Structure 1
C-alpha cells in the first residue's frame, strides 16, 4: 500500500522522533506548508544527496508555527514520524509548486539487544570523555537510542543515510558501535597531538632517566 506525500527535500537526514526546526522562505515550500496546515497533513523529507532525491526519507508532522512573517515566510517546529521508501516522484505535483510522490512506509523492529545497547553507550561515553564534552541526549525507554545519538557521534551525511535504511534497532546500534570503534583511536591520537602542541614552549617537569 502506498501513500501520496508532498516533498520538502533537504541536504540532510531526518530520523523518526527527531525534532527539526525549519525556516520556510521559498514560494514552493510556503505553499507546501500552508497546504499541510490547512489539510492537517504530513509531508516527506527525502534526503537530497549527490545532486538527486534519494530513495529513503522520513515522514514529518508539523507541531507548531512559531512565527509568521509579512511576506509569508514561516518558522515551524516539526517532528519525524516514520521512514518511507520512494515509489514515484512528480516534480512538481499537479497544480502545485512543490514536488511529491507515492511512498511506502517501512516496517521497523524496535526490539534491542541489551548487550549491544550497553556496548554502544560505553563507546559513546568514551568519545565524549576524550572530547571533554557532556552528552546531550536522552536515553529514555520511549526513544530509540540509535536515532537519538546518530547526529551526535560524527557520522558523515552518507553514513547517516545508510543508518536510515536499517529496519532493526539492533542493526542500527551495531552499525553505530562499529563506527565508534573505528573513530575512537583516531580521536584519541588527535587529542594526544593537541596536548603535545599545547606543551610546546612550556616549562616541563621531567623525571630523570635511570639507565
Structure 2
C-alpha cells in the first residue's frame, strides 16, 4: 500500500508498539498535531541522522493529549504503529507549515524464536547488571519482542536505525544478540578498569605467593 502522510522528522527511532511522549512547541508541528487530531489520522516520524531525513521511519497514532498550554504548545502521548519507507519527500503542502511524504509499508514478519529471545533477554539483563541499571518490562518475558528490547540494549542511533529496517523478527533478535556479545565484554572490562582506578592510592594487602 502506498499513501501520503504528514511527517514530523526527529533524531530518534520509534519502534512499533513503543509509547513516545512528545512536547510539541514548533508552530509547524503544533499545526500538524491539530490537523492529525481533527482528521483522526496518524503521522510519520522519519529518522533524522546527521541532519538528514532517512529513508525509513514509523507511523504513530496519537493516544492522548496530556496537556494543552495557553500558547498552543502541547504534551501528547503517541504509540508506534507500522514502519514506512519514504518514496518521495514532499517539502511543501498548500496552506501547511509542515512537510509530508509519499510512503509504502514493507511487510514485517514478527514470527519470533523463543530460544533466541531468551538469549537476548539474558544479555540485556547482564548488561544492565554491569551498568547497575534496574529496569523492568511491562510484559511477561515470553511476550517480549526485539522492539521491546532494542532501546535497552545500548545501541547507537545508527544501530537502532539499522534494526528498524530489518523486517524479520529472527533477524532483529540475531542483530541484538551479536551486539550484546560484542558490548558486554567491553563494558565488563571498563568496570574492571574503573575498579583499578578507584583502588589506586589505597593500602592493599598484596602477596607474590612466596616468590
Q: TM-score, normalised by structure 1?
A: 0.94
**Conserved 8 A contact 1:4-1:101:** yes
Per-residue deviation at 1:43?
0.2
- Unpaired segments of 5 or more residues in structure 1? none
- Unpaired segments of 5 or more residues in structure 2? none
Per the alignment, residue 22 of structure 2 pairs with: 22
Per the alignment, residue 70 of structure 1 pairs with: 70
**Conserved 8 A contact 1:138-1:148:** no
Cα distance between partner residues in 1 of 2:140 and 2:18: 14
In structure 2, relative to structure 1, the CA distance for the partners of 1:199 and 1:64 (3 Å cut) is: same
Per the alignment, residue 125 of structure 2 pairs with: 125
Per-residue deviation at 1:78?
0.6
Cα distance between partner residues in 1 of 2:98 and 2:46: 13
Aligned residues: 211
Cα distance between partner residues in 2 of 1:93 and 1:80: 24
Cα distance between partner residues in 2 of 1:70 and 1:160: 36
Per the alignment, residue 34 of structure 1 pairs with: 34
Per-residue deviation at 1:201?
2.0
Cα distance between partner residues in 2 of 1:109 and 1:144: 15
In structure 2, relative to structure 1, the CA distance for the partners of 1:142 and 1:91 (3 Å cut) is: farther
Cα distance between partner residues in 1 of 2:2 and 2:142: 27
**Conserved 8 A contact 1:20-1:78:** yes
Cα distance between partner residues in 1 of 2:32 and 2:143: 29
Per-residue deviation at 1:144?
4.6
SS at 2:90 equivalent: coil
Cα distance between partner residues in 2 of 1:18 and 1:24: 18
Q: TM-score, normalised by structure 2?
A: 0.94
The question of 1:4 aligning with 2:4 is answered yes
**Conserved 8 A contact 1:90-1:101:** yes
SS at 2:48 equivalent: strand
Per-residue deviation at 1:142?
8.5
What do residues 45-103 of structure 1 show as CA deviations (whole Å, max 9, x unaligned)? 00011222111000000011111111111111111001011111111222211001211
SS at 2:67 equivalent: strand
Per-residue deviation at 1:112?
1.1
**Conserved 8 A contact 1:7-1:98:** yes
**Conserved 8 A contact 2:121-2:149:** no
Cα distance between partner residues in 2 of 1:144 and 1:70: 40
**Conserved 8 A contact 1:17-1:143:** no
Kindly report the root-mean-square deviation, in angstroms, between the aligned alpha carbons of the 2 structures. Answer: 1.6
